[in-house]
Amino acid sequence: MRLKSIFTNSFGILFSRITGLGRDVLMASALGASVWSDMFFVAFKLPNLFRRIFAEGAFTQAFMPSFVASRHKGVFATAIFLRFLLFLMAFSLLITFFPEPITKLLAWGWDAEQIATTAPLTSINFWYLDLIFIVTFLATLLQYKEHFATTAMSTALLNISMITALWLYMREDPKTVAYALSFAVLIGGALQISVHLITLYNFKLHRLLLGGWKYRKVKDVEEEKKHFNSLFIPGILGNSTPQISAFIDTILATFLMTGSVSYLFYANRVFQLPLAIIAIATATVLFPAVSKALKNNHETEAYKNLNQAFWLLAFLLGASMIGGILLAEPIVWLLFERGKFTSMQTLETVNVLRMYMIGLLPFGLAKLFSLFLYASHRHKKAAKIAVYSLITSVSFSLILMHPLGASGLALAGSIGGWVLFIFTVKEVGTNRFLDIIKSKRSFYFVGMMLVFSAMMYFLNAWILTFIR
């Protein structure tokens, strides 16, 4: 297992997520959990949804196996890039001229006045989708060369851009802050593209794209493009269940009390930190290696990586889940309770965070096991599993949203995560999973989690005596 690459990628993601938390701390101070924070988060939700689908999901996991197998890599890569970019630019122009219908789609529970106020923010933020697709495409080429640091670190540029906007405008009225943040999103996306282009040049990969453009009329890639299409469409569903679920939860939250969209956003930001630096970092590093191993019929090597990565994720995600549940109040208090973010809003966010954390372990492990479905081109199986998870999540959201509010939406997502994990393991191979957990490491895992739970319980009690 490539531990050095995993830790390098994790460090880069950690740095990006720390700057992201810094951004959110300033945002909470400037906007709190208010009407304007809700409006910005709704406007940013759709491009952010597609960012996660592209950067952590369907595009990379459909493109990588196809690119590895391609006989004309430059031509294939150029053809896919141009097709997607032209489509996204046309879509973004449509949203620019008609932003209100898509805003209404994001916030069914809002009145016409609030939709009209949010629509311009939606049209600005949506252009980030075009920028982040370019970033994702370049990042996938770098992953093929097993270089991960640039992509992991680059998200920090988006956060730094938004932090700068907040620093300059946070004393202005909320409307000005929301617009400044929206333009900062586009500046951050342009900075991300810049650093990827520099790295691409250093790896001499620009020659591959230039050659692909020169010989773009080669007909041999038509079958490869069709194969990519057959993987990409189900891949959208197969790897995007948490994002689609969160997107639907944002819509449902607009029917709840003011601030519910913001509670979900702030809590999800904390939840995403361990998920990204542990599970996503590991899966990103292993995916090219697993794809190459399975293509060359080296199954033993591929499943050896699975065994080692499973226990790394189990221990780290298990500890994070327990710590997140038991220390939720001190975490939210430390990060967000200042300025316009009140103690009542802290408690609401704490409840949501605890419900999210219940799903951390299954979502992270499902990310690992799903690698083997995508690397072996079983994208349709992954899509079916994702549909089961999504139906479960949405059903429980509708059941729990009124008695539990935003916390019920988060809990429903976690229940969907467990369904995703169980069915993914079943498809990869229940026997393989049982072979892994029959190890004596299982006893160490249970023992360490019990000890860690006791430590976190007493630590939480001690901290609360000071902050209450």
Question: Could you report the average pLDDT of every consecutive run of 10 residues in the chain (468 residues)?
Answer: 67 80 81 75 73 64 76 80 89 90 78 84 89 89 84 87 90 86 93 94 82 60 71 69 77 84 87 85 75 72 76 91 94 84 88 95 89 78 88 94 92 94 90 84 90 93 81
Cα(13)–Cα(281) distance, integer angstroms: 7
pLDDT at residue 432, rounded to an integer: 82
pLDDT at residue 221, rounded to an integer: 66
pLDDT at residue 42, rounded to an integer: 75
| Angle (CA) 21 22 25, round 5° | 85
Cβ(107)–Cβ(251) below 8 Å: yes
Return the axis-axis angle of helices 3-31 and 35-56, rounded to nearest 10°: 160
Cα(11)–Cα(149) distance, integer angstroms: 8
pLDDT at residue 455, rounded to an integer: 94
Cβ atoms within 10 Å of 191's Cβ, excluding its own:
18
**77 sits in which H/E element:** helix 73-97
pLDDT at residue 291, rounded to an integer: 72
pLDDT at residue 277, rounded to an integer: 82
pLDDT at residue 2, rounded to an integer: 59
Q: What is the 3-state secondary structure (H, E, C) of the chain?
A: CCHHHHHHHHHHHHHHHHHHHHHHHHHHHHHCCCHHHHHHHHHHHHHHHHHHHHHHCHHHHHHHHHHHHCCCHHHHHHHHHHHHHHHHHHHHHHHHHCHHHHHHHHCCCCCHHHHHHHHHHHHHHHCHHHHHHHHHHHHHHHHHCCCCHHHHHHHHHHHHHHHHHHHHHCCCCHHHHHHHHHHHHHHHHHHHHHHHHHHHHHCCCHHHHHHHHHCCCCHHHHHHHHHHHHHHHHHHHHCCHHHHHHHHHHHHHCCCCCCHHHHHHHHHHHHHHHHHHHHHHHHHHHHHHHHHHHHCCCHHHHHHHHHHHHHHHHHHHHHHHHHHHHCHHHHHHHHHCCCCCCHHHHHHHHHHHHHHHCCHHHHHHHHHHHHHHHHCCCHHHHHHHHHHHHHHHHHHHHHHHHHHCHHHHHHHHHHHHHHHHHHHHHHHHHHHHHHHHCCCHHHHHHHHHHHHHHHHHHHHHHHHHHHC
Model pTM score: 0.72
